[in-house]
Every structure is written in structure tokens, then in C-alpha cells.
A and B are shown apart, each in its own frame.
Chain A
């Protein structure tokens, strides 16, 4: 794919995707959509930092609310870490489709004749790269602040990387369903949180095992299984939901 095509896509806010002149396969279109989302997001870094700040803030609430003693905090650390990660990813979900729905990009995607599932998956992937991965990089800081030993950090990073894939995918369904609803944030959390519970449970379990120094294979495999299930099914549901919301 040529470089001018990519830049024009990013500049025109997405209207270029339907260009008939380019013989673009669905996969290539998804690649373009991914690059476009990353480019646009990196131009507005403030929006990227918000969920991370929120994550740090929520983590700070636990020592203040429970006890500043690290021995006590270590016991609640897995739960606190994952509750904070879940809330931060929920906050970030509002950015997933909002701008593209307002400026008509999503409609162009739906009309482009390319697989909407592939395009929505690309958008979700971009969202994960922009929120899930930074969250995984922030998680060790929060874990240390909550009294986790240094040896646990690689395991915690791996758990958050795998878990945030599922969180982004499950969230994409909720975000797509609530696209054209006014004041939808409460509804979005009502739809998304119950479906995210398995990630919370296995993620907190993996973190607990990492802190106590056990074998991480089983909990990480379960988190990976959830992520695979999500990659397989969630984009289909999210694309169907986007189509319905655009009707």
C-alpha cells in the first residue's frame, strides 16, 4: 500500500476509504484503518493519558481507604489492581467509536464494501494498543505501590497484557451497542461489566499467584483462552451492533 494513500486516509478523517480507484482487500483496508487510528490518536496524546491517570488515581484510593501498611495492601493488591484496570478500560471505551461515529467515518466503513468485521477488529486492536498496552506498562508501578514483590512484576505484566485484550474486545460490543444513545456511560458499564467478570476473576487470580510466587501457567492459559474466544467472536458481534446503530 502506498504512503500517499495512508496519509490521505488520515487527513480526510476516513472518507478516503471507499475510494474505488484502489483495489484494496478487506485485510489491507483493516491495516489502513489501524494505521489511521494510531496516527489520529497519537496527535491527541492528552486523551491517551486520561485513562492511565484514572488508573493511578483509583489505585491510590485503596491505600487511603484500607490501610497504608504494605503487608495488608499486598492481600488486596490483585483485586485492587484489576478493579482499577477494569474501570480505566471502561473509561477509555468511550473513545473507541465516539469520534468516528460523529464525523461519519463509521458509516463510510459500513458502506465501503470491505468486511466491517475486519475494520471494527482493526479499530479494537488500535484501541488495545493505545490503552491496554500502556495499562500493562503502568500495572507494575501500581503493583509495587500496593506492596507486590519485584519478582511478581513480569507475571503481572503478562496477565494485564492478555486480560486487556479481552477487556477491549468485550468493551467493543458494549460501545457499539450504545453508539447513538445519549448519556450512555452508565448503560455502557451496565452492559460491559458483567461480561468482563471472567477476565477480572482470572486476572486477579494470576496476579495473586504471581505475588505468592506460584506457577503462572494455568491462570495465564485461561486468560489466553478468553482472549482467543474474544478475538474469534467479539468482532462479529461488534460489527453487527455497529450496523444496527447506524440504521
Chain B
């Protein structure tokens, strides 16, 4: 079995072209899935018998919260790969992840607090999951701050990679220590091994949104990755050829 395709993933020109080609294949399905999910969630799904129409914000909130964690995991994995095998492209992926993840985290926090006002009677509650999400935002900001603070790109890559890996070790510790307070948050109703507690008409749009957001992240990541590669390889001749084409 040949592994040459794997080696090529370490080469900036190859990844640049690949990202360019793959972007529409992720972006269009993402748009379709999100539109279908929004239609299903905002129009087709019935109002909740307790929360009325207010529950519909879950169709943006839950996927955002899900993505905020997934992007951090992706970022830390890419950072670790870059740190261990010294692959420049992996560092570029990690760098491209951070602003996307921070945006998803902000989206999750804002939609959560908008939902909290009518449901809990307050915009903010020091509930474990909200607090963990806020800490996650600070981890993203710290990562981006460290990256911005170091001028040399290679040193910024490696230092921020150490931070991302340390963060990934700490996220569970932070989460479980924050869970010392009693949770006001709803128990998970989708990610259960037993039968989900949501009606199918509400659940299907949510799953569509989850898939759509995941593909959206992929598309955004590829666009940002190309921007990262452009900035890093700006002095290289291959880039001129690629852009002239």
C-alpha cells in the first residue's frame, strides 16, 4: 500500500491547490444542510409544549456549542501533529482553526444567553456548562494572543502548539471542577446511547444543522488555511505560478 498521498499533505503547494478544489464540495452541502435544517427547525417542527417557540434557538445554539469543542480538539490535534512531526501545514491548520472556534464559542454563548432570558429569567447564570464555555473562549483568546505576541512565525507556531496541547489536557479538569455547582442546564437530550428524548420532528432538523455546521467549519477552515498558506509562503516562487494560473 502506498502512503505517498499522506506525504503530499505536508507540502504547502499541494495543500493549497487541494483546499481550493475541496472548498465548494464542503460549502455547498453545508449551505443546503443548514437551509434544510433551518426550514425544518423554524417552520416544520411543532412548538415545544413547555418552551413554546423559544426552544427553536437550539438549532443554532447546540451546533455552535458542539463546534466550539470540536474545533478546539481539531486545533489541538493539528498543533500536536505540527509539534511532533514538524509539519508546517499542520501548524497552519491550527492557526486557521482558532478564530473559527472562538466565533462558534461566542455564538454559543450569545444564543445561550438569549435563550436563558425567557426560560431561566436571566441572561446569565453561573451554570457549569456556561462557565466552561466561557473558559473555553478565554483559552481561544489566550491562544490567539500568544500567537499575535510572537513575531517569528515558526516560534509562534510551536509555542502556541504547546499551549493548545496543555489546554486540551486541562479542558476536562476545568469542566469537572466547574461542575461542583449544581447544574441548571438541561441534561443532554440528543447525545445519549439510549433513545433520544426529542421527538423526531424536532430531532431531525437538529441533526441536519449539526452536519451542516460541521461541513461549514470544514469549508471555513479550508478558506482560512489558504489565507494562512498565502501569508506564510508569500516569498516562494510556486505561489506566483499558482496565482498566475
Instruction: Give the interface of A toward B (CB within 8 A).
Output: 173, 177-178, 180-181, 184, 187, 190-191, 193-195, 197-198, 201-202, 205, 222, 226, 229, 233, 237, 240-241, 244-245, 247
Contacts and interface: CB of A to CB of B under 8 A. Distances in A.
B155 interface: yes
A2 B165 CA distance: 40
Interface stretch (B51-59, B105-113, B174-182): B174-182
A237 B154 contact: no
16 contacts: A173-B163, A177-B159, A177-B163, A187-B149, A190-B142, A191-B146, A193-B138, A195-B174, A198-B170, A198-B177, A201-B180, A237-B165, A237-B166, A244-B158, A244-B159, A245-B159
Given A187-B149, A201-B180, A229-B173, A247 B138 contact: no
Contact of B145 (A187, A222, A229): A187
Contacts of B138: 190, 193-194
B139 interface: yes
Contacts of B170: 194-195, 198
B76 to A, nearest CB: 13
B150 interface: yes
Contacts of B165: 237
A179 B159 CA distance: 10
Interface in B134-150: 135, 138-139, 141-142, 145-146, 149-150
B169 interface: yes
Contacts of B145: 187, 190-191
A123 to B, nearest CB: 17
Contacts of A190: 138, 141-142, 145
A190 B145 CA distance: 8
Interface of B: 135, 138-139, 141-142, 145-146, 149-150, 152, 154-155, 158-159, 162-163, 165-167, 169-170, 173-174, 177-178, 180
A202 B169 CA distance: 18
Contacts of B180: 201, 205
Contact of A184 (B149, B162, B177): B149
Contacts of A184: 149
A165 to B, nearest CB: 15
B149 A197 contact: no
Contacts of A241: 159, 162
